[in-house]
Amino acid sequence: MNLRFLGMKAFRTALTLWLVVTFVFVVLRTSGDPLVSLLPADSEPEVIAYYRTLWGLDRPLPVQYLRYMAAVFQGDFGISLRDTRPVIDLVTERVPATALLGLTALALALMVGVPLGILAAVRRNTLLDRLTMAFAVLGFAIPNFFLGILMILTFSLTLRWLPSSGTGTPWHLIMPACTLGLATAGALARFTRSSMLEVLRRPYMRTAQAKGVAPGGRILRHALPNAAIPVVTVLGFSLGGLIGGAIVTETVFAWPGVGRLLVSAVAARDLAVVQGLVLLIAATMVIANLVVDLLYGLLDPRIRVASVDA
Partner 1 sequence: MPVLAVEGLSVRLPGGADRPFAVEDLSLEVRPGEIVCVVGESGSGKSVTAQAVMDLLPPDLAVASGSVRYSGRELLPLPRAERLRLNGRDIAMVFQEPIAALNPFYRVGRQVEEVFRVHGAGDGAERRRRVLALFEEVRLPDPARVFGAYPHQLSGGQCQRVMIAMALALEPKLLIADEPTTALDVTTQAQILSLIRDLRARHGAGVLFITHDFGVVAEIADRIVVMQTGRTVETGTVASVLGDPRHPYTRALVAAVPRPVPRAQRAATDARPVLAAEGLRKVFARRSLFGAGRRTTALDGVSMTLAPGETLGLVGESGSGKSTLAQSLLRLVDVEAGAIRLGGDEVTRMGERRFRPLRRRIQIIFQDPWASLDPRQTAVDAIAEGPIIHGVPWADAIERARRLIAQVGLDPQAGDRFPHQFSGGQRQRLCIARALAVEPEILVADEPVSSLDVSVQAQILALLDVLQRQLGFAMLFVTHDLRVAARICDRVAVMHRGKVVEEGETAAVFAGPRHDYTRTLLAAVPGRAWFDVAGVGAGAGAGAGGAEGRA
Contacts to partner 1 by CB under 8 A: 1-2, 5, 202-204, 206-214, 217, 222, 225-226, 297, 299-310
Nearer Cβ to partner 1, position 292 or 299?
Answer: 299
Nearer Cβ to partner 1, position 168 or 301?
Answer: 301
Which run of H or of E encompasses 120? helix 87-122
Rounded to whole angstroms, how far apart are CA atoms 59 and 56? Answer: 6
Beta carbons of 110 and 192 less than 8 angstroms apart: no
Nearer Cβ to partner 1, position 84 or 307?
Answer: 307
Residue among 89, 48, 36, 62 nearest 272 (CA): 89
Rounded to whole angstroms, how far apart are CA atoms 57 and 303? Answer: 50
CB 300, min distance to partner 1, A: 8
Nearer Cβ to partner 1, position 225 or 244?
Answer: 225
Rounded to whole angstroms, how far apart are CA atoms 225 and 300? Answer: 9
Nearer Cβ to partner 1, position 208 or 252?
Answer: 208
Nearer Cβ to partner 1, position 63 or 214?
Answer: 214
CB 307, min distance to partner 1, A: 6
CB 107, min distance to partner 1, A: 24
Rounded to whole angstroms, how far apart are CA atoms 222 and 238? Answer: 25
Beta carbons of 140 and 112 less than 8 angstroms apart: no
CB 306, min distance to partner 1, A: 4
Nearer Cβ to partner 1, position 141 or 308?
Answer: 308
CB 130, min distance to partner 1, A: 17
Within 13 Å, how many C-alpha atoms sit on residue 111's CB side?
9
Beta carbons of 219 and 140 less than 8 angstroms apart: no
CB 127, min distance to partner 1, A: 16
CB 117, min distance to partner 1, A: 18
Counts of helices then strands in the chain (DSSP H, E): 14, 0
SS3 content of the chain, % helix, strand, coil (to 5): 80, 0, 20
- Number of residues written out for the chain: 310
